[in-house]
Structure 1
Amino acid sequence: MFRFAIAALLGALSLTACAQQPAASKTATAAAAPATDAAVEKRVRDALKELDPNFKPDYIGAAPFAGFREVIVSGQVLYVTDDGRYLLQTTPYDIANKTQATSPGLLAYRRGLLETLPHSDRIVFAPPNAKHTISVFTDIECGYCRKLHQDIAELNRNGIAVEYLAFPRMGLASKDATDMISVWCASDRKAALTAAKTGQPVPAKNCTNPVAMQYNLGQQLGINGTPAIFAADGTQLGGYLPPAQLKAALDRLEGSGSR
């Protein structure tokens, strides 16, 4: 379904029949009174259904720039013009805030998903009186995940708490997933995760665990690589950042009121 939508974009296909209207008709439409948010959302939904009847967005809301709706499908963020004619797959950049552009609605959507993952199921490395908290989807084998873990002490000194969530990049049938289950089932999860990230063998364990739930939610968030770092407001900060850069990014978000 999603691949079909991208093919439509690359083929410069119109999403709606209104794309085929004559210029005079489009001009008359543009002169009409502005549509309400509900009407725009319906127009976008109808356009997507015309593109593919099985196209079911998880979220539609106002984009962080005028004239577009922000749409989430299978974790991927798309932008559709308010008239339902054009679809874009891109990552807009907010020059003023020096970060990826995100709308309040998208941030709230991400926060809502993250809040469904209990704190007790996370592996937490936190200083006393943390100033910032980040949620980090990680696996135990990727190089940048290991590099980030080497920075834990420095991050904590900078007042940053790190809450790890499981995201085995190779899928739930992989050895990485089996090892991550063993880490989450260890009596001392923090020690087990640290050992695994230094390349030590992971003693096999099994129990009721959150690895699959965290992995599946990560897919809903559109994660396709690790580490994937989210600020408390739902802003995705990208992959690995050195401690000073990560702190600066979090301070900027706090200073901007998390938009």
Structure 2
Amino acid sequence: MPRLRLLKPAALATLMLLCGPLLAQEAAIRKALAERLPSLPKIDEVSKTPIPGLYEVRYGGAEIMYSDEKGEYIFVSGSLIETKTRTDLTEARIDRLTAVEFDKLPVKDSMVIRQGNGSRKMAVFVDPNCGYCKRFERDLAALKDVTIYTFLLPILGPDSTAKVRDIWCAKEPSQTWRAWMLDGKTPARVAESACDSAAITRNIEFARKHRVNGTPAVFFVDGTRKPGAIPADQLEQLLARK
């Protein structure tokens, strides 16, 4: 068993000097925001940004806002952009916070669509009544050598729930799905008593747990996820990442 190495008193003192101000700053921001914004959910984390005096405040799991060092001013629903590289630091941070390991996706609850040799992999959460999903499905159908795990997620109302059940319980779910999304062919009705829709319930629970709040929501093998109908050229770039 490796021996534990204790910090020497001088090193420990240096560490405390470095961490002390940051911890005090974090505590001051937490206190100020709690007092001034009593409806704000519990703050999960306060951390420095590349901008002196500006702090990232994370709450609700993956919600982010920014505060000055005294908690007197905040801005929300905005992005912090690094102008040199035009990198959206806020988006990158949220991507890390909401990442899901691809191997841990419950693929047994998805429709598996294999195109070509299926060597590339992706997963998508979709609602059958989502217009963006229909447009995105056309781009997905044109992809080569890809396996698409399609998770049905009814979030747009009762008709979505009915269509999802009819598609999932069809004799050929993937074909029924594509026929509806690409050709507008309404799936045949399936009686609730003749359909085991437990997978749909699990998809809804998974989406709630992992903050999948809209469709389409796309997951890639490197753990990243993207919301919305991704343009075809960008989709190819994301599929190439490992």
TM-score of the pair, normalised by structure 2: 0.66
Provide the residue aligned with 2:151 in structure 1: 165
Aligned to 2:65: 78
- Give unmatched runs, 5+ long, in structure 1: 1-31
Percent identical residues: 22
Cα separation, partners in 2 of 1:33 and 1:149, compared to 1, 3 Å: same
1:110 to 81, 98, 103: 98
- Say which SS state the counterpart of residue 210 (structure 1) adopts: helix
Pairwise CA distance, 1:138: 1.1
Counterparts of 2:102 and 2:22, CA distance in 1? 26
Aligned-partner SS, 2:58: strand
Query: How do 1:135-150 residues align onto structure 2 when only pairs under 5 Å count?
Result: 135-150=123-138
What's the CA shift for 1:135? 2.8
Query: Aligned AA for 1:211?
Result: I
Q: CA deviation at 1:109?
A: 3.5
Cα gap change, 1:121 to 1:36, in 2 (>3 Å): farther
Q: Deviations over 1:163-204 (max 9, x none)?
A: 222333424xx1112211332233432122212323222222
Shift of 1:245: 2.8
CA contact (8 A) 1:184 1:209 kept: no
Deviation of the 1:224 alpha carbon: 4.7
Partners of 1:164 and 1:81 lie apart in 2 by: 42
Q: For this pair of structures, how many residues does the alignment match?
A: 216
Name the counterpart of 2:74.
87
Q: Residues 126 and 152 of structure 2 are in contact (CA less than 8 Å); yes or no, is this contact kept in structure 1?
A: yes
Q: Which amino acid in structure 2 is aligned with residue 175 of structure 1?
A: D
Distance 1:36 1:103 in 2: 28
**Quick one: distance in 2 between partners of 1:111 and 1:68?**
22
| In 2: Cα distance, 1:96 partner to 1:238 partner | 25
1:239 lines up with 2:228 in the alignment: yes
Q: Contact 1:111–1:232 at 8 Å: present in 2 too?
A: no
- Maintained 8 Å contact 2:28/2:71: yes
What code does the residue aligned with 1:152 have?
L
With over 3 angstroms needed to count, the CA separation of the structure-2 counterparts of 1:101 and 1:220, relative to structure 1, is farther
**Unaligned residue ranges in structure 2 (runs of 5+):** 1-16
Which amino acid is 1:86 matched to? Y
2:34 is aligned to 49
Cα distance 1:114–1:34, how it changes in 2: closer, same or farther (>3 A)? same
Q: How far 1:140 sits from its partner (Å)?
A: 0.9
Shift of the 208–241 alpha-carbon distance from structure 1 to 2, 3 Å rule, reads closer
CA contact (8 A) 1:75 1:219 kept: no
Deviation at 1:52, TM superposition (A): 2.1
Residues 185, 55 of structure 1: alpha-carbon distance in 2 compared, 3 angstrom cutoff:
same
User: RMSD of the alignment, in Å?
Assistant: 3.8
Asked whether the 8 Å contact 2:151–2:203 carries over to 1, the reply is: yes
In 1, Cα distance between equivalents of 2:97 and 2:45: 10
What are the residue-to-residue correspondences of 1:5-24 with 2, within 5 Å? none
Aligned to 1:214: 203
| Shift in Å, 1:211 | 2.5
Secondary structure at 2:119 match in 1: coil
Aligned partner of 1:183 in structure 2 is 167
Q: TM-score, normalised by structure 1?
A: 0.62
Bigger mean CA deviation after superposition, 97-106 or 182-191: 97-106
Q: 1:107 to 1:144 in 2, by over 3 A?
A: closer
Larger radius of gyration: 2
